[in-house]
Amino acid sequence: MKTDKFWCAERVQRLMMSIFALIILVFLAKGLTTLGLALLAFLSIMLFIYFVFDFCPSTWMLTKILGSCYCECEGENDENQL
Protein backbone atom coordinates (compact mmCIF):
# COMPACT_ATOMS: atom_id res chain seq x y z
CA MET A 1 0.00 0.00 0.00
CA LYS A 2 1.30 3.41 -0.90
CA THR A 3 1.84 5.83 1.96
CA ASP A 4 0.89 9.50 2.06
CA LYS A 5 4.46 10.68 2.68
CA PHE A 6 5.62 13.30 0.19
CA TRP A 7 9.38 12.83 0.73
CA CYS A 8 9.93 9.10 0.41
CA ALA A 9 12.71 7.11 -1.24
CA GLU A 10 11.12 6.24 -4.57
CA ARG A 11 9.79 9.76 -5.19
CA VAL A 12 13.10 11.42 -4.27
CA GLN A 13 14.96 8.95 -6.50
CA ARG A 14 12.76 9.87 -9.47
CA LEU A 15 13.32 13.58 -8.70
CA MET A 16 17.08 13.04 -8.57
CA MET A 17 17.01 11.13 -11.86
CA SER A 18 15.06 13.90 -13.60
CA ILE A 19 17.47 16.56 -12.27
CA PHE A 20 20.41 14.43 -13.43
CA ALA A 21 18.88 14.18 -16.92
CA LEU A 22 18.35 17.95 -16.95
CA ILE A 23 22.01 18.50 -16.00
CA ILE A 24 23.02 16.22 -18.88
CA LEU A 25 20.89 18.29 -21.26
CA VAL A 26 22.52 21.49 -19.99
CA PHE A 27 26.00 20.04 -20.56
CA LEU A 28 25.06 18.98 -24.08
CA ALA A 29 23.52 22.40 -24.83
CA LYS A 30 26.67 24.18 -23.57
CA GLY A 31 28.84 22.10 -25.90
CA LEU A 32 30.36 19.85 -23.24
CA THR A 33 29.47 16.76 -25.22
CA THR A 34 32.11 14.47 -23.73
CA LEU A 35 30.97 15.16 -20.18
CA GLY A 36 27.30 15.00 -21.15
CA LEU A 37 27.69 11.69 -22.94
CA ALA A 38 29.75 10.23 -20.08
CA LEU A 39 27.01 11.13 -17.60
CA LEU A 40 24.35 9.78 -19.96
CA ALA A 41 26.29 6.51 -20.24
CA PHE A 42 26.49 6.32 -16.43
CA LEU A 43 22.74 6.91 -16.14
CA SER A 44 22.03 4.25 -18.77
CA ILE A 45 24.29 1.70 -17.08
CA MET A 46 22.64 2.31 -13.69
CA LEU A 47 19.16 1.92 -15.21
CA PHE A 48 20.27 -1.30 -16.91
CA ILE A 49 21.58 -2.64 -13.57
CA TYR A 50 18.22 -1.72 -12.02
CA PHE A 51 16.44 -3.60 -14.83
CA VAL A 52 18.57 -6.75 -14.68
CA PHE A 53 19.05 -7.13 -10.92
CA ASP A 54 16.04 -5.16 -9.64
CA PHE A 55 18.44 -3.26 -7.40
CA CYS A 56 19.06 0.49 -7.43
CA PRO A 57 21.79 1.72 -5.06
CA SER A 58 20.25 5.19 -4.74
CA THR A 59 16.81 3.80 -3.86
CA TRP A 60 18.39 1.41 -1.36
CA MET A 61 20.28 4.25 0.33
CA LEU A 62 17.31 6.64 0.29
CA THR A 63 15.07 3.95 1.78
CA LYS A 64 17.44 3.74 4.75
CA ILE A 65 17.27 7.54 5.19
CA LEU A 66 13.70 8.51 4.24
CA GLY A 67 11.76 5.26 4.29
CA SER A 68 9.88 3.64 1.45
CA CYS A 69 6.78 5.02 -0.28
CA TYR A 70 5.17 1.60 0.16
CA CYS A 71 4.42 0.41 3.66
CA GLU A 72 4.29 -3.20 4.75
CA CYS A 73 1.35 -2.62 7.06
CA GLU A 74 -0.14 -5.45 9.07
CA GLY A 75 -3.62 -6.46 8.06
CA GLU A 76 -3.34 -4.93 4.59
CA ASN A 77 -4.32 -7.04 1.61
CA ASP A 78 -2.09 -6.73 -1.41
CA GLU A 79 -4.29 -6.10 -4.44
CA ASN A 80 -1.59 -7.40 -6.81
CA GLN A 81 -1.33 -10.76 -5.08
CA LEU A 82 -3.33 -13.68 -6.48
Mean pLDDT by 10 residues, the chain (82 residues): 75 92 96 95 92 88 85 58 49
pLDDT at 82: 47
pLDDT at 22: 96
pLDDT at 6: 76
Q: What's the pTM?
A: 0.71
Please give the angle made by the CA atoms of 51, 53 and 57, to the nearest 5 degrees. 90
φ and ψ of 23, to 5 deg: -65, -40
In a domain, 29, yes or no: yes
Name the residue range of residue 57's domain. Answer: 9-66
In a domain, 81, yes or no: no
Number of domains in the chain: 1
**Residues 81, 72: Cα–Cα separation, whole Å:** 14
- How far is CA 30 from each of CA 18, 24, 43, rounded to the nearest angstrom? 18, 10, 19
In a domain, 75, yes or no: no
